[in-house]
Amino acid sequence: MSVEEKVKKIIEELWRDTNTVGAEDITADMTLCNSLGLDSLDMVEMVMKLEDEFDIVIKDEVVDEFETVADVVFCINAIQKKKETDRVCEKCGCTENDCSECIAAQNEPCYWVAPGKCSRCFDENGNLKANS
């Protein structure tokens, strides 16, 4: 199943109980709020489902830019491509190019102790820290 098909399926699940339109009727140019009627709670639920489905983290400022189904698909494709090329911490989601959350949490940038493991979340042996 393509990214677009998965996104459409997740959107369909959000409003299946109140609408009769199926995933096959959802098009890339449909707006999330106006065409599909998603409210802010639906958007939060959609993002959570997308993050689970694609094993990604979508930042709030990115979600604020979502207008159409195509925007969501583009975002997921971009995050997946970045994830393939960046080292990403499996616990906090920071990358070697963006560890702003780690800096905010510990007042210093993290470093990599092992593939997929940053120093904020893992000790020098690659074990999850107790406070993470």
Is 52 annotated as catalytic? no
Separation CA 113–CA 120 (nearest Å):
10
Residue from 17, 29, 39, 86 carrying the catalytic annotation: 39
- The residue type found at 28 is A
Active site residues: 39
